[in-house]
Structure 1
Amino acid sequence: MPGTHRSANLSLAALMCLMTVAMTLTAPVSHAADPQAYSVTLDKTGSARLDQLLQDASTLISLRESAEVGPFALITRCKQDQERFMAALHALGYYKGEVSLRIAGRMLDDPALIDSLIDAPADPPVMVTAAFELGPQFHWGQITTEGDISQQASAALKLNTGDIALAEDALAARERLLNELLEQGHALAKVDEPVATLREDTDRVDILFRVDSGPKVAVGDIAVNGLKALNETFVRSHLIMSPGQPFQPSTIEIARQDLAALGVFSSVSAQTGKQLDSGGRIPVNFEVAERQRHAVNLGAAYSTDLGASFSGAWQHRNLFGNAEQLNLSAGVMQLGGNSATGIGYKGGAAFSKPDFLQRDQSLQIGLDAIKQSLDAYDLKTVLAELLLNRKLSKYWHGSVGIATQQSRIAQQGVTRDYTLLSMPLTLKYDSSNSPLDPTEGSIGTFSVTPTESLAGGGKPFVTMQVSASTYLDLGKPGRSVLALRGLIGDTEGAGQFDLPPDRRFYGGGSATVRGYKYQSIGPAFADHKPQGGTAIAAGSVELRQRILDDYGVALFADAGQVSVDSFPFSGSWQIGAGAGLRYYTSFGPIRLDLAFPVNPQPGSGSFEVYIGLGQAF
């Protein structure tokens, strides 16, 4: 009758099953004696998204080569696809849409279809075609909730009357509503599958969310399961949550991530109970799996300026049962290289204790012995340091410490001994998403290191340095990345030759300006050997582009200068540029860069090659 409308309740979850590629492709198949070959053509709808959804939904397409069918089964498969196509139209709001399938030009209900298929020759394949009449796209009408919920929870739906009625949006709204109720402390909240009602006379869809929020509750008993060598008292003291506090999934997730960050667990998961305890609280269980207590790591790198290097490290992840770490490392370096004059080595030991004196504060003790034979100087040094590291917030960390260094350094035929005492102060910001392959976020470090000369006749001095890098994801997720970095450093209180040679600033190499030999940028002696300076400034821009799944390329340009006064920008700028290849592995990209000096200076080579694990910065 005119003026009336038809309404129908729809299952949006059933519609959403069409939104994935891995749909139910296990339709029963009947094989005729002679399988019926066929081809499939789906008419274009004018919507690329709908075309792809229809393509993904079709068993005619996905099973055409892997599961042959006879004439009867082909008709059955077409009828099943007709239902799938209708669900796909509904999922994108085309509730008045129509689907028409034909086999060899005949409709599926044509009585003569089966006989024509039986008599059809094996070649050429019969043509299956699908045509679509979309009709109007429906929009959301009345949006209601049924149940006792707050206005804030209702606002979490983020559905608006008049928006296109997409099934995925309704299901996403249900998840947002449920998550908001949980975050408000309703640990047993339930939100039923939304119920949609068609209003065909107005091309609208009314939608209803039935909610049972349940009571607000607090956290009950907290269990930690799976501990072996790690002390449970330490784990519980490290947890940022305790019984009696308001239930919030976000707090539980932060606590889970915090436990995982200790470095002693291979996995950490958290589950809440299915029912309240006798006190009306919700129990929380953390399931942990401890990593192997010992680990061995090997590393290798190569560059034309510093040659090859090989390193190994042995790690104890839980020395005394409270996640203390002991690292013993050794490496050989400068095997060849145009900036090295001999083989170098480095050996060291580092101990760290988490939650030292208070939570989120660690004690680090390190001892290193280093030998370097470079164009700039020959160095033998022993360095000992004690650092107190503190997590200030999610992204900010700070450290303060004391370090002593005993060195013998030869430069330009003059050998001197130095004994230095310093107090390094560091503030670091890190919101990047990966240590080896960052694609978004930023890293910034500010350090001040007052240093007193205890022997060697040097003056006291203060070294200040600011470095930063940022990563812009131009083609999510992480396929096109623009990476930028900058560095400014300055030393006050001592002149160029009052400073030990290894405490001066040098430019050139992968850490500053690629394409130039290591430490080659800046003031030089008459034989073109580097002097080092008291101030530095450098910057880089790099475009990283993934190709296929495991490969990538990079284009980059670096610039930097080193000066002998307190002004970091007064030196002569040198520019390097180049390109690189990347091979992406499960543990990080393997990097190969080829760089050239744009404005070579005396002593510069024609190019430099860098090979290593992880991005350049």
Structure 2
Amino acid sequence: MADAAAGSADTDARRSRVAGPVLAALLLGSALSAMPAARAADPQPYDVVIEPTGNGAVDGVLRGTSSLATLQKTQAVGPFALAGRAREDVDRLRTALESFGYYAGSIDITVNKLPVADPELADRIAAIPKGQKASIRIHVATGPTFHLGSVSLRTPAGADAASLTPAEREAFGLHPGQPAVASDVLAARGRLLSALQEDGHALADVKEPLAYLRPATRTLDIVEVVNEGPRLDIGAIRLAGLQRMNPQFVARRLSVHQGELYQPSRIEAARQDLASLGVFSDVGVSADTNDIADGQVPLTFDFTEAPRRTVALQAGFSTDLGGSAGVTWTHHNFFGEAEQLRLAALLTGLGGSAQQGLGYDIYADLTKPDFLHRDQSLDVRIEGLKQNLQAYDQTALLARVGISRKLGRRWLVGVGIGAEQERIVQQGVTRHYTLVSLPLSANYDSTDLSNPLDSATHGVRVSVSATPTYSLGSGDNAGDSVTDQGGNSVFTILQATASTYLDLNRLGLSKPGRSVIALRGTVGSVQGASTFGLPPDQRLYAGGSGTVRGYQYQGVGPLFPNDDPVGGTSVDAGTIEFRQRIGKSFGAAAFVDAGQVSASSTPFQGTLRVGTGVGVRYYTPIGPIRLDVAVPLNKPPGGDNFELYIGLGEAF
């Protein structure tokens, strides 16, 4: 191609064939290494000034590319080496300019007003009196922007790559007339290669671009050499490294199969899906392009199994619920098909204004993935619970069985059945209940977080549930007017919560992910029973970190004469929170919460309670550690003056 160009009409023009390695060097001055040079007896200190070009992006790259600037404080050198460093900077800075499409720019560097091209530069630097600094100034003139001239896609034989599809050409994305920016030229190669591979061309090869400079027309001609290779399918799939996992289960779980079109994105999605099972510390995939037969590429998935058992300590604290502490033991592959068995024992009620004594939460959870259908899980829980809250005291034994199923990437729906035997004491009256429920749920999440504890910066979360419940109740003091809550009843608890996240970067006000406004709304209603026709633990409450901060847990809503919470049959709450990252590991938050609970089954009634506060965050690899302090703006009788919350993960 270069020979063909040499015979063109503008043979007097400067031509340079810029192969991939050179174009790569145009990006941000990526190779910032010290120049080998002779060392003087004493290092020569200096000051360097890079005069602004008027383009902030260019100025930043020039500063990062210049060895005089980047090595000034870390690698002092003698006079001769400093002269060499200054001369080398001319070519380095010119390369940086060309990366922005400025191929006719000029670089002028002076040391104590002497041009770097002066043969006596090193001697003049050596003559600087000891203790004085050399003064270096760098003046860069960008000159005019060059644009792309002709852009052609060719086969290795030199013919036009006519077999490329319109979509592949569109993915390439370079067009005559656009600025000749090196990063755009290099990115086009990557896009074209990805498009070819997604179309099944597993052996596709896109050479690094050839660039021909035309100073007379201020253009850069681009030639991209493309070798598509054959269109291939996925061949035999091998599973390597499985020890305790059932290979048949993994094979069923695979979302790619032999005979399907070879597409790197689908193969990577299959790898990530297997990694999400939680039983592997590493999952890799490779294609054996040396063993292609009948148009098929064999794949090998390599697995490294994680430890089967883990033990974790849990702890949390808030001024209303007090402290909690406990331990969990988890088996991550109980029957060999990624079943997870978790045993937990927690001590609760360690202090706290909404607590009246110690409690416990002991449970066993078993989760079986791909139960009867891919992406469908069976969840079983048996739980023993005791809590002594200001609203009521509860001792209960619960059993739940549920099935949840993913619908696409963002939806999760579930159905289950639960049974509960409980003893509840409220206002000095003891009652026993037997509850049977049929919980139904649907959840939508477009925040695209791999770790649910991470801070969301965009997207929406929606959770909707309906829980029809049959309650069989009996009491010790059934004649007491306070206990007009016995007998059998059927009721349905309806609840919905939605949250959304706005990254202020979308408005041009911050860097991506640094400043976020988070909004949350909750609404709930009980149909089929009045407040005192419900078991106290089935009523709706607000207050605490999950709804209205600044108020005690369950402290928003109707109160008994002694200021204990009654609960209600409707609830609504909303939050607006501003989150600001500070540096790499810290953050701050400011929020306003509001909510109300009433004895009516229609939300948005009752006394509206408002709380406000601030918080700090410390970001760890497993999620942010959160500390929030909130105060009530119109606290009820007997309420606290402030609440403190410490936990892992954001409030929502």
Scaled by the length of structure 2, what TM-score is found?
Answer: 0.92
Distance in 1, Cα, partners of 2:250 & 2:432: 47
- DSSP-derived class of the 1:255 partner: helix
The change in CA–CA distance for 1:99 and 1:258 in structure 2 (over 3 A counts) is same
Q: CA deviation at 1:12?
A: 5.0
Contact residue 13 and residue 171 of structure 1 kept, 8 A: no
Distance in 2, Cα, partners of 1:517 & 1:407: 24
Q: 1:418 — aligned with what? A: 433
Q: 2:55 — aligned with what? A: 47
The structure 2 residue matched to 1:10, chosen from 5, 9, 18, is 18
Contact residue 27 and residue 182 of structure 2 kept, 8 A: no
Residue segments in structure 1 that go unaligned for 5+ positions in a row = none
Contact residue 15 and residue 88 of structure 1 kept, 8 A: no
Q: 1:134 — aligned with what? A: 142
Contact residue 13 and residue 215 of structure 2 kept, 8 A: yes
Structure 1 position 307 matched with structure 2 position 325: no
Q: 1:347 — aligned with what? A: 362
The structure 1 residue matched to 2:499, chosen from 462, 469, 493, is 469
Distance in 1, Cα, partners of 2:141 & 2:632: 62
Contact residue 509 and residue 515 of structure 1 kept, 8 A: yes
Q: Which amino acid letter does the alignment assign opposite residue 193 of structure 2?
A: L
Q: 1:297 — aligned with what? A: 312
Q: 1:431 — aligned with what? A: 446
Summarize deviations over 1:107-147 as a string: whole Å, max 9, x none: 12223323222222122111122111211011222222112
Structure 1 position 237 matched with structure 2 position 252: yes
Contact residue 583 and residue 590 of structure 1 kept, 8 A: yes
Distance in 2, Cα, partners of 1:81 & 1:611: 53
The structure 2 residue matched to 1:600, chosen from 621, 624, 635, is 635
Q: 1:204 — aligned with what? A: 219
Q: CA deviation at 1:454?
A: 3.8
Structure 1 position 393 matched with structure 2 position 408: yes
Q: 1:448 — aligned with what? A: 466
Q: CA deviation at 1:276?
A: 4.6
The change in CA–CA distance for 1:3 and 1:59 in structure 2 (over 3 A counts) is closer
Q: Which amino acid letter does the alignment assign opposite residue 374 of structure 2?
A: R
Q: Which amino acid letter does the alignment assign opposite residue 418 of structure 2?
A: A
Contact residue 310 and residue 333 of structure 1 kept, 8 A: yes
Contact residue 37 and residue 122 of structure 1 kept, 8 A: no
Summarize deviations over 1:250-276 as a string: whole Å, max 9, x none: 110111111011111112222222335
- DSSP-derived class of the 1:460 partner: strand
Summarize deviations over 1:222-251 as a string: whole Å, max 9, x none: 122221211111111110111111111111
Q: Which amino acid letter does the alignment assign opposite residue 469 of structure 1?
A: S
- DSSP-derived class of the 1:85 partner: helix
Structure 1 position 562 matched with structure 2 position 597: yes
Q: CA deviation at 1:2?
A: 9.9
Summarize deviations over 1:362-396 as a string: whole Å, max 9, x none: 11110111111011000001110001111111010
Q: Which amino acid letter does the alignment assign opposite residue 462 of structure 2?
A: G
Summarize deviations over 1:165-216 as a string: whole Å, max 9, x none: 1100111111111000000110000111111222222222221211001111
Distance in 2, Cα, partners of 1:220 & 1:184: 16
Distance in 2, Cα, partners of 1:270 & 1:136: 47
The change in CA–CA distance for 1:455 and 1:598 in structure 2 (over 3 A counts) is closer
Contact residue 406 and residue 412 of structure 2 kept, 8 A: yes
Distance in 2, Cα, partners of 1:555 & 1:208: 54
The structure 1 residue matched to 2:613, chosen from 578, 581, 589, is 578
Q: Which amino acid letter does the alignment assign opposite residue 559 of structure 2?
A: A
The change in CA–CA distance for 1:277 and 1:572 in structure 2 (over 3 A counts) is same
Q: Which amino acid letter does the alignment assign opposite residue 16 of structure 1?
A: A
The change in CA–CA distance for 1:406 and 1:128 in structure 2 (over 3 A counts) is same
- DSSP-derived class of the 1:156 partner: helix
Which shifted more, 154-163 or 374-383? Answer: 154-163
Q: 1:359 — aligned with what? A: 374
Structure 1 position 485 matched with structure 2 position 520: yes
Contact residue 574 and residue 593 of structure 2 kept, 8 A: yes
The change in CA–CA distance for 1:26 and 1:115 in structure 2 (over 3 A counts) is closer
Which shifted more, 478-487 or 553-562? Answer: 478-487
Summarize deviations over 1:386-421 as a string: whole Å, max 9, x none: 011111110101111110000100111111100011
Q: 2:281 — aligned with what? A: 266
Contact residue 194 and residue 210 of structure 1 kept, 8 A: yes
- The percent identity for this pair of structures is 45
Q: 1:59 — aligned with what? A: 67
Contact residue 168 and residue 196 of structure 2 kept, 8 A: yes
Residue segments in structure 2 that go unaligned for 5+ positions in a row = 1-8, 155-160, 475-486, 506-510
Alignment of 1:137-216 (within 5 A): 137-146=145-154, 147=161, 148-216=163-231
Contact residue 544 and residue 554 of structure 2 kept, 8 A: yes
Summarize deviations over 1:562-590 as a string: whole Å, max 9, x none: 11111111121111101011111121111
Q: 1:506 — aligned with what? A: 541
CA RMSD of aligned residues (A): 1.6
Summarize deviations over 1:424-463 as a string: whole Å, max 9, x none: 1111112222411222222111111111124432310011
- DSSP-derived class of the 1:10 partner: coil
Contact residue 38 and residue 81 of structure 2 kept, 8 A: yes
Structure 1 position 278 matched with structure 2 position 278: no
Which shifted more, 423-432 or 376-385? Answer: 423-432
Distance in 2, Cα, partners of 1:271 & 1:113: 56
The change in CA–CA distance for 1:130 and 1:173 in structure 2 (over 3 A counts) is same
